[in-house]
Structure 1
Amino acid sequence: MKLTVIAFTCLTLLSIVLISQPVFAGKAGVGVLNVSPEYRATRIIQSQDIIKVYLVISDYNSWRDIYRVDLLLKNKDVVMAQFRFKQYENTISYDEIDLFEETKGNGYLRPESCSVSRSSSKETVDDRCLLHVTFAFDPIPYCTKMEVIVYDRGGLFATTSIDYPAEGSTRNEKVIVPFWTGSPVEVSPDLINVIAISVAFTTTAVLVVKRREVL
């Protein structure tokens, strides 16, 4: 009798625990426990004056579970620029705002050329899970890699690193890389002109002095 009561109690407790587990499927959820998002595809297209990064992100709780996507542009471990896509204002809202913003940088992001699209078909599970996000921005000098971080409503995230397309990137007159640090530093364009004039003046003065010594 005692064994029967114990077994019944254990089964009851187990049922309560399973029922109380949160399901973060949302309004369009597939109906599974919360899982982290993942990357399906990444494509980078670079022209002379713009770079576009196409991301295909999947979440088996449906694309509605994806809250935010961050794109970080780095030189080694230094973040040169950071772009962000927010599908919602916060993790409890279901009103899509589709906001693209630059949280760090010098106006590289081109929000008017950024875009997002969702799976329209609902015939398969995959059709309800894909989110297509496109970041568009000006070439960023001295960057060596990109890092993408995707967050879902439940706090889970996925990250991946991509080589930055350095070929064809234009130089920025406001950025220099000192040889003794190897890291980019922002300077005023006027400072570069002053240095150039000073070097030219010093070189001219040295040549004049040497000419006088020869004479």
Structure 2
Amino acid sequence: MRRALLIIVCFSLLFIVLYSVESVDAGRAGVGVLNVSPEYRSTRIIQGEGIVKVYLTVSDYNSWRDIYQIDLFVEDRGVTRAHFRFKHYESTTQYDEINEFSEMEGNSYLLLDECSASHSSTDKTVDDRCLLNVVFAFTPVPRSTRILVITYDRGGLIADTSVEYNNTAGNFRNANYIVPFWMDSPVRIPSDLIDVISISTALTAAAVMLVRRRER
């Protein structure tokens, strides 16, 4: 009788311990359901003068806390022209947000000051618990035809989406960058250099015309 009672007590304690651990993990993860892949609620690309912004709203029913990393690739027919990364946490086992953006491949296209990540500060609704908003900002990447996004969660599940994006070298133009015909990447120039070149060209042309008139 005592042995049976002892077994019952042991099983009861084991159940309480396991339930407590599961509750803690569920609280950290948010919703606490079976691990599922992230999903893309919306993807928008907005291009302005010298800047491209990709707005991502990623949903994870295990909670936005379960989203670990997002990679964004700017490609041209399968060739990667630029690769940007957003890290939500330092590792899959940590829960302190770092919200770090970095350029893994490219030519200093990423505009860190324009990148951002946000989520709801409450847990009142499913969207509050599940949605993570991430904005990648970068200068236009020449000869790019597609943007590929891959999202990873803590459990190793991934979700990907792609958007056709036409930004050939001929369409690339802004005040601070030029793309020489012998290069694939933009080169930063001083904002007033083009004005100086224009004025110099105009003065040279005027001088040539004046000399020709005098020779006549």
Is TM (by shorter chain) over 0.5?
yes
Query: 1:117 and 1:67, CA in 2 relative to 1: closer, same or farther beyond 3 A?
Result: same
Q: CA deviation at 1:172?
A: 2.0
Deviation at 1:186, TM superposition (A): 6.3
Identity %: 54
TM-score of the aligned structures, taking structure 2 as reference length: 0.68
Change (3 A) 1:175 1:108: farther
The answer to whether the Cα contact below 8 Å between 1:41 and 1:55 also exists between their aligned partners in 2 is yes
1:139-174 Cα deviation digits (max 9, x unpaired): 000000000000000000000011114274336227
**After superposition, where does 1:37-116 map in structure 2 within 5 Å?**
37-116=38-117
Kindly tell me: are residues 130 and 142 of structure 1, through their superposed partners in 2, closer, same or farther at Cα, counting changes over 3 Å?
same
Q: Report the CA distance shift for 1:139/1:33 in structure 2 as closer, same or farther (over 3 A).
A: same
Q: Greater shift after overlay, 134-143 or 26-35?
A: 26-35
Q: Does 1:142 align with 2:143?
A: yes
Runs of 4+ aligned structure 1 residues displaced above 3 Å come to 22-26, 185-188
TM-score by length of 1: 0.69
Name the structure with the higher helix share: 2
Structure 2: which 5+ runs fail to align? 1-14, 188-216
1:173 aligns to what?
A: 180
The letter for the 2-side match of 1:117 is: S
AA in 2 matched with 1:83: F
Contact 1:147 1:160 in 2 (8 A): yes
Figure out how many residues of one structure are paired with residues of the other and give that number.
162
Native 8 Å contact 1:46 1:165 kept in 2:
no
Q: Is the 8 A contact 1:26 1:61 kept in 2?
A: no
Identify the residue that residue 120 of structure 1 maps to in structure 2: 121
**One-letter amino acid of the structure 1 residue matched with residue 116 of structure 2:** S
Aligned to 1:159: 160
Which letter does structure 1 place at the counterpart of 2:135? T
- 1:180 maps to none
Structure 1 residues 117, 165: closer, same or farther in 2, change over 3 A? farther
Contact 2:179–2:186, Cα closer than 8 Å, also in 1: no
SS of the aligned residue for 1:106 comes to coil
When structure 1 is superposed on structure 2, of 156-165 and 145-154 the one drifting more is: 156-165
Relative distance call for 1:166 and 1:35 in structure 2 (3 A) is same
